[in-house]
């Protein structure tokens, strides 16, 4: 691969989504064995909905990668790549093929695993669809890039919401995630929902009580740890100007709560869908409150500790304490109140974001 292309398009992409790649490697590389991967790949090939879900995940990943590359090329440091417009479409394909392969390596490896399993079980019908889809995605990606370099590069690009012309403070971090950490939020949501689905599946078998779901919510909360780290970094580095402006605690509570609730909305909807009925309405309210409180508490803990290594050490200790409280059957309301203490400590100062 051309060293200039590698340093310009591959390294920045992996740096920007480092949290996502670490999370994926940790969950699918450390916590899962090869036998489990082979079993999942076999299920994906046997289940049509599962197979097309994988293609959808690949498409979303490709869209996020393409948007990131286009934003990179809007920067002044990338004006040199305007000269790529002098290349033919075929030459551009050959130049950017290594970049595309490097940026899509994780999903291409999994596609190779699906191909291997397909040959092993004799199910070859979906393999041409899989690789044909990947070729089409690559060609569309390169076509969009080619159309980009053929046009004049703008002096400045201002990102503005299409629907919300004026964004309140509550949505700033959400816009930051959408623009700069798309893969991180998608990976966290995917892992969190898979975790919760697994806990609900075993809970509905009748072998576990409510404490099992509470433990599941605790695990899903810690799956969001990279998001809360990113939120703290975003506020401490990009919003330092607002630390000179006194803000009422009630206003900060509303702003942070709104942002956190929007981020946790898929899990909250899943909780209501899986556990919502008249007989369990009160327990459902307790679980919803517990999940919100746990996430707010983790975010507050990160804000208090400031340093990444200190936050991680404190998070391990807090997880153990909360696990003990769940095991001994402490009421979810009590656990929620304990979890909210770090959050309220973190926003008590008027001169903090």
Q: Give residue 37's pLDDT.
A: 78
307 CB burial (10 A radius; 0-12, 13-18, 19+):
exposed
> Does residue 163 sit within a domain?
no
pLDDT at 26 exceeding the cut of 70: no
Query: Which whole number is the average pLDDT over 48-73?
Result: 85
> Does residue 220 sit within a domain?
yes
> Does residue 244 sit within a domain?
yes
Range of the domain at 306: 169-346
Residue 130's alpha-carbon distances to 96, 118, 135, 166, 171, in angstroms, are 21, 11, 9, 42, 37
How far apart are the C-alpha atoms of 25 and 38, rounded to whole Å? Answer: 16
Query: Which whole number is the average pLDDT over 167-175?
Result: 80
What is the CA 186 to chain-centroid distance, rounded? 3
What is the CA 123 to chain-centroid distance, rounded? 32
pLDDT at 157 exceeding the cut of 80: no
How far apart are the C-alpha atoms of 235 and 35, rounded to whole Å? Answer: 42
pLDDT at 341 exceeding the cut of 60: yes
How far apart are the C-alpha atoms of 285 and 299, rounded to whole Å? Answer: 21
> Does residue 196 sit within a domain?
yes
Are residue 142 and residue 175 in the same domain, yes or no? no
Q: What is the CA radius of gyration of the chain?
A: 23
Using DSSP, state whether 124 is helix, strand or coil.
coil
Are residue 140 and residue 210 in the same domain, yes or no? no
How far apart are the C-alpha atoms of 224 and 264, rounded to whole Å? Answer: 9
Q: Give residue 304's pLDDT.
A: 85
Contacts of 293 (CB under 8 A, 6+ apart): 335, 336, 337, 339, 340
Q: Give residue 336's pLDDT.
A: 92
3 CB burial (10 A radius; 0-12, 13-18, 19+):
exposed
pTM: 0.60
> Does residue 351 sit within a domain?
no
**Looking at the chain, how many residues does it have?**
353
Q: Give residue 278's pLDDT.
A: 65
pLDDT at 166 exceeding the cut of 70: no
How far apart are the C-alpha atoms of 345 and 301, rounded to whole Å? Answer: 9
Are residue 136 and residue 182 in the same domain, yes or no? no
pLDDT at 344 exceeding the cut of 80: yes
Are residue 180 and residue 265 in the same domain, yes or no? yes
pLDDT at 334 exceeding the cut of 90: yes
Domain count, the chain: 2
Q: Which pair of structure tokens corresponds to residue 311?
A: 């936050």
Are residue 60 and residue 197 in the same domain, yes or no? no
Q: Which pair of structure tokens corresponds to residue 94?
A: 């050959």
> Does residue 156 sit within a domain?
no
- For residue 83, count other CB atoms closer than 10 A to its CB: 9
- Of residues 352, 195, 213, the one with CA closest to residue 291: 213
> Does residue 15 sit within a domain?
yes
């Amino acid at each position: 691969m051309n060293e200039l292309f590698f340093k310009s398009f591959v390294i920045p992409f992996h740096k920007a989504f480092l949290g996502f790649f670490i999370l994926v490697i940790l969950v699918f590389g450390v916590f899962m064995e090869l036998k489990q991967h082979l079993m999942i790949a076999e299920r994906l090939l046997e289940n049509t909905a599962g197979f097309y879900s994988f293609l959808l995940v690949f498409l979303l990943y490709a869209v996020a990668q393409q948007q990131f590359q286009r934003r990179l090329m809007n920067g002044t440091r990338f004006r040199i790549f305007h000269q790529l417009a002098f290349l033919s479409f075929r030459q551009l394909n050959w130049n950017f093929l290594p970049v595309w392969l490097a940026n899509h390596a994780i999903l291409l490896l999994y596609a190779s695993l699906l191909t291997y399993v397909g040959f092993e079980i004799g199910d070859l019908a979906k393999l041409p669809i899989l690789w044909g889809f990947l070729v089409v995605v690559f060609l569309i990606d390169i076509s969009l890039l080619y159309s980009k370099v053929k046009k004049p590069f703008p002096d400045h690009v201002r990102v503005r919401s299409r629907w919300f012309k004026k964004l309140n403070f509550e949505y700033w971090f959400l816009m930051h995630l959408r623009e700069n950490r798309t893969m991180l939020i998608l990976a966290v949501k995917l892992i969190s929902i898979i975790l919760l689905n697994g806990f609900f599946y075993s809970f509905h078998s009748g072998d576990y009580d409510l404490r099992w779901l509470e433990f599941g919510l605790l695990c899903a909360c810690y799956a969001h740890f990279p998001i809360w780290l990113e939120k703290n970094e975003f506020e401490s580095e990009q919003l330092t100007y607002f630390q000179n402006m006194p803000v009422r605690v009630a206003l900060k509570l509303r702003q942070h709560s709104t942002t956190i609730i929007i981020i946790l909305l898929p899990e909250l909807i899943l909780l209501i869908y899986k556990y919502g009925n008249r007989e369990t309405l009160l327990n459902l309210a307790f679980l919803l409150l517990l999940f919100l409180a746990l996430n707010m508490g983790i975010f507050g803990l990160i804000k208090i500790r400031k340093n990444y290594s200190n936050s991680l050490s404190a998070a391990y200790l807090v997880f153990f304490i909360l696990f003990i409280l769940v095991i001994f059957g402490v009421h979810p309301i009590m656990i929620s109140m304990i979890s909210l203490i770090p959050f309220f400590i973190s926003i008590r100062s008027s001169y903090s974001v």
